[in-house]
Copies of this chain bind each other. A is one copy, B any other.
Amino acid sequence: MTPNGTEAGSGRTIRAVQISCDVLRALREMDGAGVTELADRLGLSKGTVHGHLNTLHRNEFVVKDGDDYRVSLQFVDFGEHAKENVKVYDVARKETEELAEKSGEFAQFMVEEHGWGVYLHKVNGANAVKTASYVGNRKHLHCTALGKAILSELPRERVDEIVEARGLPRQTENTITDREGLYDELERIRERGIAYDDEEVLQGLRCVAAPLTGYDGTLYGAISVSGPISRMKGERYREEVPEMVQSAANVIEINAAHL
């Protein structure tokens, strides 16, 4: 059994529950839908879908808006609880805000879950930069500075597991898409203690990230500063910003020690 599940398929799974999960995922992706629409998409009978929606509705996981069903706001409540369960959440959140202020740039905080990188906080500094990601968004780990910082502190077999499960899809022309290249990059990150993203996600955007690790080696996540290439260059990109990120990371790690 893997330590932190990303394994493909094992043990018994309950068909009815699987169907409800499929229904929920479809509702999320479609931004709401009717019974017939869902039944067609999922290859199920209308009666079946209706039964599932009815059960989910009683449990307040979906809302009914006329004849359309949508994912309910109870997910916000559950999500908030999930965030609170992240050990360093409160400290990291506060420190991310400070990092944004100090740098004047865009600061973010990410953790790993199920082999994905999940954004948990994002703060605009004085010079706002728009990004497509939102809090709760799940992204591949290999193609952002934050994700690579996280991967760099995971044991090799876990990295393999994640690559196996999630793949290394190309994001831009700078994306690392082969396993060897990833290993090399992670090694460089471990040496520096800092991960870079040089226009790998978005043209003209650079990002500097540091992993957050406990003294016992546990990995908490990563924090970063992103900004346009016009401001992120030279000594600022190589020294100044990395030091700010590193020192914020240290503060979080120290505060995490007595939790």
101-145 of chain A: CB within 8 A of chain B = 111, 113-114, 118, 120, 134-138
**Residue on B with the closest CB to A136?**
B76
Shortest beta-carbon distance from A60 to chain B in Å: 5
Q: A222: which B residues are within 8 A, CB to CB?
A: none
Would A5 and B135 be within 8 Å (CB), given that A51-B12, A73-B79 are in contact?
Answer: no
Q: Are B17 and A60 in contact (CB under 8 A)?
A: no
**Residue on B with the closest CB to A22?**
B59
What sequence of 0s and 1s flags, for each residue 50-87 of chain A, a beta carbon within 8 Å of any chain B beta carbon? 11101111111101110000111111111111111110
1-33 of chain A: CB within 8 A of chain B = 4-5, 9-18, 20-21, 24-25, 28, 31-32
Q: A111: which B residues are within 8 A, CB to CB?
A: 73
Shortest beta-carbon distance from A15 to chain B in Å: 8
Q: A137: which B residues are within 8 A, CB to CB?
A: 77, 80
Q: How far is the CA of A73 from the CA of B14 in the complex (A)?
A: 22
**Residue on B with the closest CB to A23?**
B17
Q: A75: which B residues are within 8 A, CB to CB?
A: 75, 78-79, 81-82
201-225 of chain A: CB within 8 A of chain B = none
Q: Are A20 and B14 in contact (CB under 8 A)?
A: yes
Would A113 and B72 be within 8 Å (CB), given that A20-B14, A51-B12, A58-B9 are in contact?
Answer: yes
A/B interface sample: 7 pairs, CB < 8 A: A4-B65, A21-B61, A63-B113, A72-B114, A76-B135, A80-B135, A80-B136
A residues at B contact (CB < 8 Å) = 4-5, 9-18, 20-21, 24-25, 28, 31-32, 50-52, 54-61, 63-65, 70-86, 111, 113-114, 118, 120, 134-138
Q: 7 smallest A-B Cβ distances: which pairs?
A: A76-B136, A76-B79, A16-B16, A75-B78, A75-B79, A79-B79, A21-B59
